[in-house]
A and B are shown apart, each in its own frame.
Chain A
Amino acid sequence: MKRVLANWLLVLPLLISLVPSMRAQENASAPGMGSQALAAVSSDERIAKLEQQAADAKSSADNAWMLVSSALVLMMTGPGLALFYGGLVRKKNVLATMMQSFAMMAIVTVLWALVEYSLAFGAGNSFIGGLQNLFMRGVGAQPDPDYAATIPLQTFMVYQLMFAVITPALITGAFAERMKFSAMALFMILWSLLVYAPMAHMVWGKGGLLNAALGGRFPTLDFAGGTVVHVTSGVSALVCAIYLGRRLGYPHEPMPPHSVVLSFIGACLLWVGWFGFNAGSALNAGSLATSAFVATHFAAAAAALGWAAAEWIRNGKPSVLGGISGAVAGLVAITPAAGFVGPMPALLIGAVAGIFCYTMVAKVKAKLGYDDSLDAFGVHGAGGTIGALLTGVFASSAINPIFKNSQGAALPSGVIEGNGHQIVNQLVGVIIAWLLAILGTLIILKVVDVVLGLRVSDDHEVQGLDLSQHGEEGYYWEASAS
């Protein structure tokens, strides 16, 4: 009895507060002079208001997903890639290797804020953006409908920044354990401006030569950066590995990974982060993001199986490092395709990439003799190239109607759908990425070599980069430490 009373006491104020608002509604609908005209205006207004509210809600939802995606992509560099690469080097280089990834989070961010964003996404010519967005000018809450109509341009900017961070970080795997930190930093600044910014502009920027969505001359399908991120970084990595030469003692001295455990954690973080990378590249929270999410996941799984199976057959055992390397290879290969292909082609692309990258890493590298220390080319260059080409084969207009005729009806996307020419466009995109990466990287290496020198001294290389470049150790040991 007491409880019922208490409940009524709680409800009573609510009822009282409702009464005046009900009266107000009666007043509003009371008959009077020109009430019909008034009602018509107010219904128009109400529709406009509702439309605005619906647009705001969609914008908020899209923005929430894009901010989460941005954070996920940053997580791919640190700690994802830093752990993945850090585990693969020898103990004496673990910190220096992680620092090379981490430094990109700081250096490229500042560079992006000052000039790189404008060079990549400012309206410019076919090859590079203009200078109108220097120092973040004009990059605010207002969306840019050419890029993403429902999210603030600032969200788009920070999302793209995370890609600009991880791309140079991927290259560091090629010259791990032998490059000066200062030379690495200067190389990456120049590389970001001279290779990444133009490539990003060509594929994704307004008026870009290869932009499929905004009417480029050679519309290359690259959903999340197969050419922009993986081909450019992977090919540049190969150039670096050859230019710098092998590590002291390679290939005679054994240089096994010092902790596959670290690499395992890093690879799994990369897998999760890649949902932001690929599904986020839909630039909204709609069904295309879901489709890209599923394709990404499926390809990673198939590629992990592909690499591990190839190893199992050749060496008699499926290794953990093989499994996680395969997953990363699959994620690389599905990157350009994620928003264009269905789940079954995604499985196929993944499986092909897993086996192909295993062959590149385990067989081709050993044959050719270059020391791509952590297989940045074997995984990203090779996987990115095969992924970009397969995108042209499997792209489906049912998943993403990117090409439309003048009436707005969807045209076929990939070779299987009947757009045989798309493979040529993909090839053009890949060749441009290869050429830009090779030429740009060679010139930058030459400049940095003259200005700073690229390699550490032999003594420093033997001592390890942790001590010689950073004055600290990853695994500090002293008897009195306890």
Chain B
Amino acid sequence: MTKVEAVIQTSKLDAVKTALQEIGVEGMTVIEVRGHGRQKGHTEFYRGREYTVDLLPKIKMEMVLPDDLVEKAVQAISSAARTGKIGDGKIFLSRIDDAVRIRNDERGETAL
């Protein structure tokens, strides 16, 4: 099992979600986050005071997938989320030891 964490542009959530559903990803968790990589922030003015905002709103998607689905999922996310500009986001993969379905205590991949 592999955990796929993708940080993407907020505007790309629907496209990525659809692409993942098309390849058979059945579950995901979506979180509104703030952060930055190489992308620069912007400035805001309130009554003449300048504020630099470098933590920008992003969407973080998390899903734990059976290994045979991982590469397809990475491809789906990356092609759906790409605009080619700085700030498109990142995908992180990590090994998962076990999973538990709370409803019936199923373990491992059957719990996904």
Which residues of A are in contact with B by a Cβ distance under 8 Å?
Answer: 251, 254, 256-257, 260, 311, 314-315, 317, 319, 321-322, 325, 358, 361-363, 365-366, 375
| Chain A hits for B48, CB < 8 A | 311, 314-315, 358, 361-363, 365-366
Interface residue SS majority, chain A = helix
Complex CA distance for A398 and B49, rounded to whole angstroms: 43
Which residues of B are in contact with A by a Cβ distance under 8 Å?
Answer: 44-49, 51-52
Residue of B nearest to A357 (CB): B47
A321 touches B49 (CB 8 A): no
B49 touches A319 (CB 8 A): no
Q: Can you offer 5 A-B residue contacts whose CB atoms are under 8 A?
A: A254-B51, A254-B52, A256-B51, A363-B48, A366-B48
B51 touches A321 (CB 8 A): no
Complex CA distance for A319 and B48, rounded to whole angstroms: 10
| Chain B hits for A358, CB < 8 A | 48
Complex CA distance for A363 and B48, rounded to whole angstroms: 7
Chain B nearest Cβ from A306, distance in angstroms: 14
Complex CA distance for A311 and B49, rounded to whole angstroms: 11
| Chain A hits for B44, CB < 8 A | 256
| Chain B hits for A366, CB < 8 A | 48-49
Complex CA distance for A348 and B51, rounded to whole angstroms: 32
| Chain B hits for A325, CB < 8 A | 47
Chain A nearest Cβ from B32, distance in angstroms: 14
Complex CA distance for A145 and B39, rounded to whole angstroms: 70
A315 touches B46 (CB 8 A): no
B51 touches A361 (CB 8 A): no
| Chain B hits for A260, CB < 8 A | 46
Residue of A nearest to B50 (CB): A315
Chain B nearest Cβ from A263, distance in angstroms: 10
| Chain A hits for B49, CB < 8 A | 251, 256, 362, 366
| Residue among A251, A314, A319, A363 making CB contact with B46, cutoff 8 Å | A319
Complex CA distance for A251 and B48, rounded to whole angstroms: 13
The 4 closest A-B pairs by CB, nearest first: A362-B48, A315-B45, A254-B51, A361-B47
Complex CA distance for A254 and B49, rounded to whole angstroms: 9
Given known contacts A256-B44, A317-B45, A361-B48, what 13 new A-B pairs fall within 8 Å (CB)? A256-B51, A260-B46, A311-B45, A315-B45, A315-B48, A319-B45, A321-B46, A321-B47, A322-B47, A362-B47, A362-B49, A365-B48, A366-B48
B45 touches A257 (CB 8 A): no
B47 touches A375 (CB 8 A): yes
Interface-central residue, A254, A260, A314, by most chain B CB under 10 Å: A254
Chain B nearest Cβ from A262, distance in angstroms: 14
Complex CA distance for A319 and B45, rounded to whole angstroms: 8
Complex CA distance for A363 and B46, rounded to whole angstroms: 12
| Chain B hits for A375, CB < 8 A | 47
Chain B nearest Cβ from A374, distance in angstroms: 9
| Chain B hits for A361, CB < 8 A | 47-48
| Chain A hits for B45, CB < 8 A | 311, 315, 317, 319
Complex CA distance for A256 and B51, rounded to whole angstroms: 8
| Chain A hits for B51, CB < 8 A | 254, 256
Chain A nearest Cβ from B86, distance in angstroms: 22
| Chain B hits for A315, CB < 8 A | 45, 48
Complex CA distance for A325 and B48, rounded to whole angstroms: 12
Complex CA distance for A321 and B44, rounded to whole angstroms: 11
Complex CA distance for A315 and B48, rounded to whole angstroms: 8
| Chain A hits for B46, CB < 8 A | 256-257, 260, 319, 321
Residue of B nearest to A360 (CB): B48
Residue of A nearest to B52 (CB): A254
| Chain B hits for A322, CB < 8 A | 47
Residue of B nearest to A378 (CB): B47
Complex CA distance for A361 and B51, rounded to whole angstroms: 16
Interface-central residue, A317, A319, A325, A375, by most chain B CB under 10 Å: A319
Complex CA distance for A361 and B45, rounded to whole angstroms: 12
Interface-central residue, B45, B47, B49, B52, by most chain A CB under 10 Å: B47
Complex CA distance for A50 and B35, rounded to whole angstroms: 77
| Chain A hits for B52, CB < 8 A | 254
Chain B nearest Cβ from A356, distance in angstroms: 13
Chain A nearest Cβ from B26, distance in angstroms: 24
Chain B nearest Cβ from A238, distance in angstroms: 16
Residue of A nearest to B44 (CB): A256
Complex CA distance for A311 and B45, rounded to whole angstroms: 9
